[in-house]
Amino acid sequence: MKIGVLALQGNFREHIRTLAGLGVEAVEVRKPDHLVGLDGLIVPGGESTAIGRLIGLYSFEEPLRNFQGAMFGTCAGMILMGRGGLIGQVDIGVDRNAYGRQVASFEADFPLADEEKPLRGVFIRAPRVTDVGEGVEVLAELDGDPVLLRQGRFLVASFHPELTDDTRVHERFLDLVREDMHVGA
Ligand code: GLN
């Protein structure tokens, strides 16, 4: 299995480190032809405006929209993958920087679907999911707001699972990649 991490701006190194810790080969994706042969792709958090500008500059928009493997977006990555985002694909409305200025960044524990142990989420100027389309499954919520969601081969999180030692969200993404490879085979 080979996973790419979009390496234009933001937390791509942290995702690669987490995947390496799970024994998975992960590569930096800096040009559209780096997408060839990947089974999955992570679009990291950072600054969605900056990442969006670089997506335009490097002609990544079409190749990202056409990517056929599983895709996981965190924070800014979720903004780009949501409704109206440059990559689109996931049927959710997203409000950027929706958490107030005072509490722009915080950590919180919340339950994860089908698990006993709660998950700790690191939220950094996090986007808020404002509405969820029919085909989208909510895997975790914080105070009534969806924070981890899945639609088919797409996974999105408003927090940063690459910044904690808990690897369960990345493991779920890898399950999705395997499932998708199986379906595609
Ligand atoms: N607020 C950022 C944005 O709008 C996202 C923050 C993050 O990815 N940590 O792009």
Angstrom CA distances, 56 to 31, 61, 133, stand at 11, 6, 27
DSSP 85: S
Residue type, 2: K
Residue 150: band (very low, low, confident or very high) from pLDDT cuts 50, 70, 90: very high
Q: What's the CA-to-centroid distance between 127 and ligand 1, angstroms?
A: 7
Q: What is the helix (H) or strand (E) element at residue 83, kind and residue range?
A: none
**How long a stretch of residues is the chain?**
185
Query: Ligand 1 test: best mutation among 9, 11, 47, most atoms within 8 Å of CB?
Result: 47
- Rg value, the chain, Cα: 15
Give this prediction's pTM. Answer: 0.96
pLDDT band at 181 (very low <50, low <70, confident <90, very high): confident
Domain with 131 in it = 2-184
Ligand 1 near 55 CB (within 6 A)? no
Is the CB of residue 139 less than 8 Å from the CB of residue 132? no
Chain segment 110-130, per-residue pLDDT in tens: 999 999 999 999 999 999 999
The CA-atom distances, in angstroms, between 156 and each of 21, 36, 58, 59, 152 are 21, 22, 23, 23, 11
- State how far the Cα of 71 lies from the Cα of 121, in Å rounded to an integer: 20
What per-residue confidence (pLDDT) applies to 185? 59
136 lines ligand 1 (CB under 6 A): no
- The whole-number average pLDDT for the span 21-38 is 97
Provide the H-helix boundaries in the chain.
Answer: 12-21, 48-57, 61-66, 76-81, 168-184
- Say if ligand 1 is within 6 A of residue 75 CB: yes
Structural domains counted in the chain: 1
Atom 9 (ligand 1): residue with closest C-alpha? 124
The minimum-distance atom of ligand 1 relative to the CA of 50 is 10
Longest dimension (CA), the chain: 48
Catalytically active residues, by annotation: 75, 160, 162
Which residues are within 8 A (CB) of 21 and not within 5 positions of it... i.e. 6 or more apart?
Answer: 167
**Mean pLDDT calculated for residue range 40-45:** 98
Helix axes 168-184, 12-21, angle to 10 degrees: 80
User: Among the atoms of ligand 1, which is closest to the Cα of residue 97?
Assistant: 1
Give residue 102's pLDDT: 58
Residue-wise pLDDT tens digits, 76-111: 999 999 999 999 999 999 999 887 665 689 999 999
Query: Measured between alpha carbons, how far is 162 from 155 in angstroms, rounded to an integer?
Result: 14
pLDDT exceeds cutoff 70 at 20: yes
Q: Give the CATH number for residue 176.
A: 3.40.50.880
Is the confidence at residue 180, as pLDDT, over 80?
A: yes
What is the atom index within ligand 1 of the atom nearest the CA of 96? 4
